[in-house]
Amino acid sequence: MKPTPFQQLVRSRRSIRRYLPEPVEREKILACLEAARLAPSASNAQAWRFLVIDDPKVKRTFAEKAFSGIYSPTKFAAEAPVLILLLAKLDFVTHRIGRQIQKVPFFLIDIGIAGQHLVLQAEELGLGTCWIGWFHMRKTRTFFKIPRKYKIVSLLAMGYYEKKTVGEKKRKPLEDIAWFNSFQG
């Protein structure tokens, strides 16, 4: 079967670690945030929050703290024109009950869906992104004075990049990861 336009978009998306110094237009950032805002969430709680860091001075000072010490392997993100901090506002009943009864932190699923909407919108607009989980969260909280009722979940680097032809993504075959009507693992 021929890949759909959406499948082609998903196939072309890669984690980008080298960015061009060109700034990202605010309209494109807003389009990405709008895509994230439209994501579904458990009980429509919409726990996601996004802190966009696109001022070069703020980004540089923040990056010096967030990517220091043991977090230096992700300092490449400091070169991205935009960093987006993904937060979860945890004062929603859905997330507390879900975590206690189901043992599932639904806010992480919700943030993942919203973040993926953002990332795919960025790809469609010609922007590269990279999910980053390895950064100094305590220093991030202190730097931006983020209250405790917000959980810092992840960081996204975003910017223009030099597009290169790359091969097919290395993924397991569909028959190894999906079954119909009975478990076959």
The pLDDT of residue 101 is: 74
The encoded tokens of residue 76 equal 């490449």
pLDDT at 103: 75
What pLDDT sits at residue 67? 98
Three-class SS state of 145 = coil
| N-to-C CA span, the chain | 26
The closest alpha carbon to 86, from 144, 42, 127, 128, belongs to 144
Q: How far apart are CA 10 and CA 14, in angstroms?
A: 9
Q: What is the pLDDT of residue 164?
A: 79
5-177 CATH choice from 1.10.287.3510, 1.10.3720.10, 3.30.420.40, 3.40.109.10: 3.40.109.10
Residue with tokens 């082609």: 8
Residues 48, 87 contacting (CB under 8 angstroms): yes
Q: Which residues of the chain fall short of a pLDDT of 70?
A: 91-95, 98
In this structure, how many other beta carbons lie within 10 angstroms of the beta carbon of residue 103? 7
- Report domain extents, the chain: 5-177
pLDDT, residue 102, reads 75
Cβ neighbours of 163 (radius 10 Å): 11
The pLDDT score that the predictor gives to residue 92 is 57
